[in-house]
Structure 1
Amino acid sequence: MKLGLIAVPLILMGVTQAGVAATQGNFKRFSVSAGWLHVMPQGKANPFNINTAVKDGTQSTVGKISQGAFIDSIDPNATIDNGVDPEPINLKAGLLKMFDQGLADVIGDGKGNISEVFTGTATVNGLEEWQSESTGLEAEDVDTLGLTINYYMNDNVSLQLIGGIPPKVDIKGKGEIFAPLSGLALPTGVAAMIFPDGLPLGQDIPITNLGNKSKAATARAWTPALEAQYQFGKSGINKFRPYVGVGLMYAYFNDIKLNSEIRSDLEAAGHMIQNVLDNKAGAALDGQVSSGVMRVDVDADDAIAPIVTAGFTYDLNDHWYGVASVSYAKLNNKTTINVVNESTGQQLIHATTKIDIDPLITYLGVGYRF
């Protein structure tokens, strides 16, 4: 990619200088066109890379926790020797049986929760950083009004500026993001006597489902391009004149709006992280609001990409012409999502993904030369 970005400006300079030399800089001509620009992204989604403020090995007081959240947090593959069965049994299944046999009455508060007297502490792992496979973002097709301006150095060589009305692009989400919780819970009191070695934790905590929304976000895309073009044939002789071009595209994205459901899910994830940091791991698993005020920030990096074009013009008369072209740009950018506790300014969640846009662009318009 770096070699390509270096080579494109050199080609632009070479073609421009060749055109000026051929005409000794005496021939200048302009043209403008407007028409339908259809953008078809070809890239595929890339997984999110996620970091949180809960470092591996963080110890957090559990506090009160619902029985359901407690059971869900237990490693589904963990086993326990109950002293009765000849082989170790599944820990989660054993806990459910013990709850039915009266353990819930012993360690519960009578309201469906396990009392903080018995929950003790938890060593939390898995939330510091992970990659969420089979997730990501993809840009959807979009239409807009395209505009081009050409400066001709001779009858064949020109520089073209490509622009248009910046379209609002729908961003489609893919997959569901889970937080891979692991660790060890160390209960106290009677519970510690029953489970002296602690309780292994293992749960994929649902964070947000990107794929079941009509769109994950929208953004305004500004993508001007500059190309050096060579047009075959001669003016006044050939009405049909094919051309090829090569250049650079600059991409800038603003007015980014995240889907409201996804934003709400990310705020809830921020509360989960803050609760762990506040020594309220039980509240974190129960999805309770924390002491913080959550803000979700979304940003997309600017990008520069090589672009190539093939097209043709058809002269209607000396001034007016029709034009059609197809272009391809090797364009991608990095999108960042941060969840920040506004009360403290601490960044609780940092997530990034690369969006491979790689647009195939068709253009059909009418132009005027002067």
Structure 2
Amino acid sequence: MEFHNEKKLAYLVASISALSFPVFSYADSPYFSLKDGDGFKRFSVSVGALHVMPQGKAQPININTAVPEGTKSEVGRISTSSVLGAIDTSTADGVDKKRKLETLINSGLVSPLILDEIDGVKYLKPSVGGTAEIDGLSSWTAQGTGLEADDVTTLGIMTNYFFTDNISLEVKAGIPPKVDIKGKGNISAPLTGSVDPGNVNIIIADIDAGSIIGGNIPLKQDIQVTNLGAHGKVAEARAWTPAFEFQYHFGKTGVNKFRPYIGLGLMYAYFNELEMNSNLEADLVAAGHKIANIKLGEAGKALDGIESAANPKVKLEAKDAFAPVATAGFTYDFNDRWFAVGSISYAHLKGETTITVNDAELGELINAKSDIEINPILGYAGIGYRF
């Protein structure tokens, strides 16, 4: 009896020591030591196919440019087709102004005084173009547009450390795949404003062009920027999405070969090696030239799609993101070391992409942001080994 009492006392002292000095007792814990316990292995690793299926929907792209509301810009030389196409004909005044301008352009007597013809194209003379007041380009949301990630398959590597036979910490990794980004919808810039025609005397009853037209000409035109849907894959990026997850495994080693498990954790998403579709990049460079022309006081060139003196450069960026991840899966033991594993995971993952168009002299011309709702379902099937 005395021996047993001493043994109980020793266990009590050991327990108190473990509570009081966890650093020194860590290695002897049956739950956190590196030794096997109750027949289960502490470590496992599996390798297999990881298929990622994004479920998110395209989100509208928000666009800002370097043209504040009410910006005034000289029109300069502009083709007659561009100026007529930009007149707002939703009102009676706009219809009347367009009719009068067409009359002047087609008049055999007046047209030589207000027009230049270059390579068969008719242009209003720079002195007739006047000054434009521009609205609508500073900020807008392109509804019905957005970016979506495509499905991808890669090699998955899952490592587990078992604290007990039922509780483990899994680290999910793999070979970072190249993910295709698809575009949706058409982006156009909603130009509004007005033009004050040049005060050029035209020898018709000694009245000038502005008087004939009758004041400012209202403008309203959706200026084409790019059709994302026409480009198919608009970009690609290498996706690094490591995750850690605490899991609970049902059943018991050595008793149940088939053991379901559930898990909950956190995923980190990092994207690099971003490459943009060359056709989309060309469209954005052209849009940058339009904004630059307005900034440089040559709004007519912007409507005519003529390159500016600027040198627009396009840059694509993606922000890092964190997301909760949940998993349901199973393992099937072939023996005490080899096993098969299958799982389905879901991560509530949303990233943000930014496209900028910059010029060394004029600075940022265009800034477009869009959320990418990835929200992937991840299917995994592999073979594992315990040690």
Instruction: Calculate the TM-score normalised by the size of structure 2.
Output: 0.85
Q: Which has the larger radius of gyration?
A: 2
Shift of 1:90: 5.6
Shift of 1:204: 0.3
1:47-58 correspondence runs (5 A): 47-58=60-71
How much is the aligned-residue C-alpha RMSD, in angstroms? Answer: 1.8
Whether 1:69 aligns to 2:82 is: yes
Shift of 1:107: 1.7
1:22–1:197 Cα change, 3 Å:
farther
Kindly indicate whether the alpha-carbon contact (under 8 Å) linking 1:65 and 1:115 is maintained by their aligned counterparts in 2: yes
Whether 1:184 aligns to 2:194 is: yes
CA distance in 2, matches of 1:22, 1:173: 54
Question: Pick from 366, 370, 380: which aligns with 1:353?
Answer: 370
Deviations 1:337-369 (A, max 9, x none): 110002x16011111010000001000100001
CA distance in 1, matches of 2:329, 2:100: 70
Deviations 1:302-331 (A, max 9, x none): 000000000001111111111000000000
2:161 is matched by which residue type in structure 1? Answer: Y
Q: Which residue pairs with 2:181 in the alignment? A: 171
1:325–1:24 Cα change, 3 Å:
closer
Question: In the comparison of the two structures, how many residue pairs are matched?
Answer: 343
Instruction: Give the secondary-structure state (helix, strand or coil) at the position aligned to 1:291.
Output: coil
Instruction: Give the secondary-structure state (helix, strand or coil) at the position aligned to 2:286.
Output: helix
Deviations 1:77-116 (A, max 9, x none): 1323xxxxxxx95654564455344464442113311111
Q: Which residue pairs with 1:294 in the alignment? A: 312
Whether 1:107 aligns to 2:114 is: yes
1:208–1:89 Cα change, 3 Å:
closer
Instruction: Give the secondary-structure state (helix, strand or coil) at the position aligned to 1:285.
Output: helix
1:162 is matched by which residue type in structure 2? Answer: K
CA distance in 2, matches of 1:326, 1:158: 17
Q: Which residue pairs with 2:59 in the alignment? A: 46
CA distance in 2, matches of 1:104, 1:141: 59
CA distance in 2, matches of 1:219, 1:213: 16
Q: Which residue pairs with 1:60 in the alignment? A: 73
Shift of 1:75: 1.2
Shift of 1:73: 1.3
Instruction: Give the secondary-structure state (helix, strand or coil) at the position aligned to 1:221.
Output: strand
**Identity of matched residues, %:** 51
Instruction: Give the secondary-structure state (helix, strand or coil) at the position aligned to 1:216.
Output: strand
Kindly indicate whether the alpha-carbon contact (under 8 Å) linking 1:304 and 1:331 is maintained by their aligned counterparts in 2: yes
1:192–1:98 Cα change, 3 Å:
closer
1:145 is matched by which residue type in structure 2? Answer: L
Unaligned runs of 5+ in 2: 1-26, 201-207
Whether 1:117 aligns to 2:135 is: no
Shift of 1:22: 9.5
Q: Which residue pairs with 2:347 in the alignment? A: 329
Kindly indicate whether the alpha-carbon contact (under 8 Å) linking 2:49 and 2:154 is maintained by their aligned counterparts in 1: yes
Instruction: Give the secondary-structure state (helix, strand or coil) at the position aligned to 2:67.
Output: coil
1:108 is matched by which residue type in structure 2? Answer: L
